[in-house]
C-alpha cells in the first residue's frame, strides 16, 4: 500500500511541477530546471518503504504475541486495539502540522494582501513601459541625446490612441538607484562622504502628471525648463524634509557632481512632489532629485544612455511591441525596443517572491489539511467499527441515537483541539523564522490563528460526521450477535 501510494504521489508531483514552475519569480529562475529524476524516485521509494514498514510494526508485534492464536487473533481484531492511542497520536500530529502550515500560509496571504494595499505613490495601471539604449557612437554629445529623446516623445505623442508619454532614466520598481552627494544653498565645501545625498533621476516634462505623482509644493518640470532657462529640479517630500526641515524647499539651491570636470551646476528647486516607493512596497521612500532631460549634460554617462518610457493609451486602444518598434524605427532603425511590458507586470513581479512563497506554503498546508481530515475519518471509522457491540448495548438499554452521534463527534473534536493547541504553540515558536518575510503582520497575528483554528474544527466535524452517523444507526440486534 505504501509503495502504491508513493507511485501515485510521484504521478501527482509530475502533474503539479509545471504549474508550480509558472509561479516561480525571475529571481529564482534556476528552479525551472527541476524535474522528477532518479534521485526523486529513489527518495520516494525509500520513504514509502520505510513508511510501510514502520506502520506495520505495532500491529505486527501485537499479533505475534504468543497469547494470541487461531480464533483469539480474530477476537483480538474485533476488540478496541491497544494501538488506538498511537493512532490518535498520529492524528493529533497531523492536525498540529496542518495548523503550523496553515498559519504560515495564512500569514503569507495577509502579508501579500498588505503589500498590494500599499500606496506606491504613483499609478502604474493602464500604462505600458519599454526601454531604449542609445549607442555612444551616435549619441555622444548631450545635445544629440536630447534630440533623440525628443524625437521619440514627439512621435509617440502624435500616434493614435496615445494619451501621454514620458521618459525616465530610472523606472520605479524596475531600475536601480543612482545616488550623488549634494551641496545645498551655495555651499562651497568640497563634497565628501558626509555630504547629504539623494538619488538623481532624469525625467521628461509630463512624467509626474502621467504617473499621477502628487504635487505638494511649487510646480512640476515643464517644457520651459530647457537649456535657455535657469537649471531647475524637483525633489520629493523626503528630500525636502531631510535637507530643509520645517522650511519651504521651493526656491532653494542644490548642486551635485554632474560633470567629470568643472564646478557642479547649481539648480533651483521649483517643486516638491510626493514620495514614491521606487524599490517596491517593502522598501521605504528615499531622497530623490528629478531634473529635466532638456537640461541634462554629462549625467547621461552615469547610466549608460539607457532610458525607459511610459505610455498611457486612451479610447480602449493598446500598444503592442511591433507597433512600438515600428515607431521607434522611424526615428532610428538601429534602436531596439527592450523590456516591453505593461506596467502592471512590473508591479506584479515586485511582489512575485512573497506570492510564490505563500502559494507554495499554501499548497503544503492544503495537503496537510487533507491528510488530517483523512486521518480523523479513518480513526473515527475504525473506532466505531470496534465499538459496534458497545454502541449496540447502549442503544438497547435506551441511549438516544443523537447522544451516540454526539459522542463520536466529541471524540473527533478532542483529537482536533489537541492538535490545534499543539500546532498553535509550534507555530508561535517557529513564527520568527518567517517574520523577516512578512509585511505589516506579526507572527502571532490572532486573526490568522482564529481563522485557521475554525477551518480545522470544521474539517474535523466533516471528517467525523460519516462515522458518527454510522454509529447512530447501529442495530442492537445485529451488534449483539456473537459474530458481530
User: Cβ–Cβ contacts within 10 Å for residue 75, how many?
Assistant: 10
Q: Which three cell numbers, joined as nine digits, stand for 296?
A: 541634462
Global pTM reads 0.69
Average the pLDDT over 454-461 and give the result: 84
Most confident region among 19-23, 111-115, 184-188, 308-312 by mean pLDDT: 308-312
When mean pLDDT is compared across 24-33, 300-309, 437-446, the lowest value belongs to: 24-33
When the pLDDT of each residue in the chain is averaged and rounded to a whole number, the result is: 82
Q: Minimal CA–CA distance to 116: which of 284, 448, 356, 351?
A: 351
294 Cα distance to chain centroid: 39
In this prediction, residue 77 carries a pLDDT of: 47
Give the angle subtended at the CA of 347 by the CAs of 117 and 366, to the nearest 5°.
Answer: 65
Distance CA 337, CA 182 (A): 34
Residues 6+ apart with CB under 8 A from 384: 391, 408, 467, 468, 470, 471
In this prediction, residue 111 carries a pLDDT of: 82
Q: Minimal CA–CA distance to 87: which of 45, 58, 109, 126?
A: 58
Under the banding of pLDDT at 50, 70 and 90, the label for residue 183 is confident
Query: What is the DSSP secondary-structure string of 337-400?
Result: -EEEEEHHHHHHHHTHHHHHHHHHHHHHHHHHHHHHHHHHHHHHHHHHHHTHHHHHHHHHTT--
User: Cβ–Cβ contacts within 10 Å for residue 323, how many?
Assistant: 14
**β-strands 215-218, 253-256: how paired?**
unpaired
pLDDT digit string, tens, across residues 385-414: 777 777 777 777 777 778 878 888 888 888
Q: Minimal CA–CA distance to 113: which of 123, 105, 121?
A: 105
Asked if 112 contacts 350 with a C-beta cutoff of 8 angstroms, the reply is no
Residues 6+ apart with CB under 8 A from 333: none
User: Cβ–Cβ contacts within 10 Å for residue 194, how many?
Assistant: 8
In this prediction, residue 255 carries a pLDDT of: 87
DSSP state of 214: P
User: Cβ–Cβ contacts within 10 Å for residue 387, how many?
Assistant: 21
Rounded percentage of the chain residues whose pLDDT exceeds 70: 87
Distance CA 442, CA 286 (A): 25
Distance CA 466, CA 385 (A): 12
pLDDT digit string, tens, across residues 348-393: 887 777 777 777 777 877 887 787 778 777 777 777 777 777 777 7
Distance CA 286, CA 374 (A): 52
Average the pLDDT over 421-432 and give the result: 88
Q: Three-class SS of residue 162? A: strand
In this prediction, residue 108 carries a pLDDT of: 83
Q: Minimal CA–CA distance to 402: which of 469, 315, 349, 348?
A: 469
Distance CA 392, CA 379 (A): 19
Q: Minimal CA–CA distance to 162: which of 132, 131, 128?
A: 128
Distance CA 314, CA 299 (A): 33
In this prediction, residue 478 carries a pLDDT of: 64
Give backbone dihedrals phi and psi of 256, rounded to 5 degrees, phi first.
Answer: -140, 165
pLDDT digit string, tens, across residues 2-28: 889 889 988 888 888 877 777 777 666
Asked if 289 contacts 297 with a C-beta cutoff of 8 angstroms, the reply is no
Q: Could you give the residue ranges of the DSSP H alpha helices within 35-141?
A: 38-63, 71-78, 84-117
Amino acid at each position: 500500500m505504501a509503495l502504491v501510494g508513493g507511485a501515485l504521489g510521484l504521478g501527482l508531483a509530475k502533474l503539479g511541477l509545471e504549474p508550480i514552475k509558472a509561479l516561480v519569480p525571475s529571481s529564482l529562475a534556476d528552479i525551472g530546471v527541476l524535474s522528477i529524476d532518479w534521485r526523486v524516485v529513489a527518495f520516494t521509494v525509500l520513504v514509502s518503504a520505510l513508511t510501510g514498514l514502520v506502520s506495520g510494526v505495532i500491529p505486527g508485534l501485537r499479533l505475534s504475541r504468543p497469547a494470541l492464536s487461531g480464533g483469539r487473533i480474530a477476537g483480538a481484531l474485533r476488540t478496541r486495539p491497544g494501538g488506538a492511542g498511537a493512532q490518535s497520536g498520529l492524528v493529533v500530529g497531523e492536525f498540529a502540522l496542518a495548523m503550523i502550515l496553515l498559519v504560515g500560509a495564512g500569514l503569507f496571504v495577509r502579508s501579500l494582501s498588505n503589500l498590494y494595499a500599499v500606496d506606491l505613490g504613483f499609478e502604474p495601471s493602464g500604462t505600458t513601459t519599454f526601454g531604449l539604449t542609445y549607442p555612444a557612437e551616435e549619441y555622444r554629445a548631450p545635445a544629440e541625446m536630447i534630440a533623440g529623446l525628443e524625437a521619440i516623445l514627439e512621435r509617440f505623442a502624435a500616434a493614435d490612441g496615445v494619451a501621454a508619454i514620458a521618459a525616465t532614466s530610472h523606472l520605479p520598481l524596475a531600475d536601480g538607484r543612482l545616488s550623488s552627494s549634494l551641496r545645498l544653498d551655495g555651499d562651497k565645501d568640497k563634497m565628501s562622504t558626509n555630504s547629504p545625498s539623494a538619488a538623481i533621476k532624469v525625467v521628461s516634462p509630463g512624467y509626474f502628471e502621467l504617473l499621477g505623482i502628487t504635487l505638494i509644493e511649487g510646480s512640476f518640470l515643464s517644457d520651459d525648463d530647457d537649456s535657455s532657462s535657469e537649471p531647475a529640479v524637483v525633489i520629493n517630500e523626503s528630500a525636502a524634509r531631510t535637507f530643509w526641515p520645517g522650511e519651504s524647499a521651493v526656491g532653494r539651491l542644490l548642486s551635485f557632481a554632474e560633470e567629470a570636470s568643472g564646478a557642479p551646476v547649481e539648480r533651483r528647486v521649483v517643486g516638491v512632489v510626493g514620495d514614491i516607493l521606487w524599490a517596491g512596497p517593502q522598501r521605504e521612500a528615499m531622497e530623490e532629485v528629478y531634473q529635466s532631460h532638456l537640461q541634462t549634460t554629462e549625467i547621461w554617462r552615469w547610466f549608460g544612455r539607457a532610458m525607459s518610457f511610459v505610455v498611457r493609451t486612451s479610447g480602449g486602444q493598446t500598444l503592442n511591441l511591433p507597433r512600438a518598434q515600428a515607431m521607434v524605427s522611424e526615428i532610428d532603425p538601429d534602436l531596439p525596443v527592450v523590456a516591453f511590458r505593461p506596467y502592471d507586470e512590473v508591479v506584479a513581479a515586485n511582489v512575485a517572491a512573497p506570492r510564490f512563497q505563500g502559494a507554495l506554503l499554501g499548497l503544503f498546508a492544503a495537503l496537510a489539511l487533507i491528510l488530517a481530515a483523512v486521518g480523523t475519518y479513518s480513526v473515527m471509522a475504525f473506532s466505531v467499527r470496534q465499538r459496534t457491540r458497545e454502541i449496540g448495548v447502549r442503544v438497547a438499554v435506551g441511549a438516544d441515537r443523537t447522544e451516540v452521534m454526539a459522542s463520536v463527534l466529541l471524540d473527533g473534536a478532542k483529537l482536533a483541539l489537541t492538535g490545534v493547541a499543539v500546532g498553535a504553540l509550534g507555530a508561535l515558536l517557529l513564527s520568527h523564522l518567517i517574520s523577516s518575510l512578512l509585511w505589516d503582520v506579526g507572527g502571532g497575528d490572532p486573526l490568522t490563528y482564529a481563522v485557521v483554528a475554525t477551518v480545522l474544527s470544521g474539517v474535523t466535524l466533516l471528517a467525523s460526521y460519516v462515522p458518527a452517523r454510522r454509529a447512530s444507526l447501529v442495530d442492537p440486534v445485529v451488534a449483539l450477535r456473537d459474530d458481530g
